Amino acid sequence: MRDLRVDKLAELLVNYSLEIQPGEKTLIWADTPSAPLIQATYEQIIHQGAFPFVYAVLPGLAEALLEYGTDEQIRFTPEPFAQIFETFDSMVFIRSLENTRFLGRADAAKVVEREKGLGKLRKIYTERTAKGQFRWVLTLFPTNAHAQDADMALRDYENFVFNACLPDLNDPVSYWKEVSAYQARIIEWLKGKERVHVLGKDTDLRLRIDNRKFINCDCHVNVPDGEVYTGPVEDSLEGHVHFSYPAIYRGKEVLGVRLQFEKGKVVSATADKNEAYLNKMLDTDAGSRYVGEFAIGTNKMIQQFTGQILFDEKIGGSFHMAMGNGYPETGSINQSLIHWDMICDLRDGGQIWVDDQLIYENGDFVLDI
């Protein structure tokens, strides 16, 4: 018998996150270990009178492509795939890996080539999303590999995942609506503000947010969710930041990342482990040394680092930035083939000031909202 929580999660994805309507076309892009959630999501879409299409990815395919493929093959994007992103109404993306370090030994140059191929699809759905023509949601189905990264037994990790996604199992929609209302008040306060100053361990960073829009992350795009984010003014970042947790991108772990910014651009990038990889990714294109996203995590159900960015960037008491591509709906104009989230814990003495007013301290908002 299928875990009741799987059905509840599928219902949340289809009926709340995407609000799928009869007649719509929906892509389910998923790793095959997530088969129970694929099945449950497929059934929910059928019940809604919509048209699901499943693209299931077998473990090992990406590794084979990067190991044996030419640059042309690695960059190749099938035309039917592009057509799907140009014409479908929505997508459920389910991450579920058997090996989370599957690209750990891959040539960094080939990873960049793969980003070029995937970047074509990303550009299509990012632009359509900004225009309100395409909706997508990302979630994760627990596996032993993800559990090992989090230093948990599989059962404990399953409980962690479902508790983060469905804090109120009986009525998850009402729970996320309450989160949405709280974050909306934060965003309303931030409207019209101009300057942000972040202070933390080995971190002193300034950026501008004037004429930029904050987005309310309330389980409509990520499940679980819990953050508010914007795209900072591209040339405004000044100072330095030390990211508390490993920065993981395409299966490669980079430890102890320190970035120095001048006029918005990373002018120095160092790391305790895999520094060469860090700089190779930051040299992907003209936009990859600029920040596309600045965000504050609010999900108090997530209190520890797990090695999975979908959860870690939501840690209640953290902020994160994404190097590379920004989201047009925020006002960001930064374009890049990469979007690499890096997380900084602010729960031990960290502060965020906005227009010289303290709004966040020791991992909590101090606004009277």
Cis peptide before 224 (omega within 30 of 0): yes
d(CA 314, CA 305): 10
d(CA 113, CA 259): 24
Q: Which of 32-36, 129-133, 330-334 has the lowest mean pLDDT?
A: 129-133
Residue with tokens 């482990």: 273
d(CA 298, CA 121): 30
Phi and psi dihedrals of 87, rounded to 5? -125, -20
Per-residue model confidence (pLDDT) at position 83: 93
User: SS3 for 346?
Assistant: coil
Average the pLDDT over 236-249 and give the result.
96
Amino acid of residue 208: R
Read off the pLDDT band of 46 (50, 70, 90): very high
> What burial class does residue 300 get, using C-beta atoms within 10 Å of its C-beta: 0-12 exposed, 13-18 middle, 19+ buried?
middle
- How far from chain centre, in Å, is Cα 345? 17
pLDDT > 90: percent of the chain:
84
Residues 6 or more apart whose Cβ sits within 8 Å of residue 133: none
Read off the pLDDT band of 65 (50, 70, 90): confident
| pTM (two decimals) | 0.86
Structural domains in the chain, sorted by start: 4-165 (3.40.1830.10), 172-365 (no CATH)
Read off the pLDDT band of 49 (50, 70, 90): very high
